[in-house]
Amino acid sequence: MNEVVEPVATGVITGGWPYIIGAYGLTWAGLLAFLTRAVLLGRARPPESP
């Protein structure tokens, strides 16, 4: 006789804030890191032409 298996994935997903903070935090970190790099490279003096 086959055993009846109750579905387990029911209801609303609870918690998840570590994932939310990770997604937003890493996004802002990446954007600000790229922005900082772009500003610094923009200010760098080009090498003198020979």
Question: Which of 3, 4, 7, 42 is the binder for another protein (CB under 8 A)?
Answer: 42
Would you tell me how many other CB atoms lie within 10 Å of the CB of residue 38? 10
Confirm or reject binding of residue 15 to another protein (CB under 8 A): yes
Confirm or reject binding of residue 19 to another protein (CB under 8 A): yes
Which residues lie near another protein (CB under 8 A)?
12-17, 19-20, 22-24, 26-27, 30-31, 34-35, 38-39, 41-42, 44, 46, 49
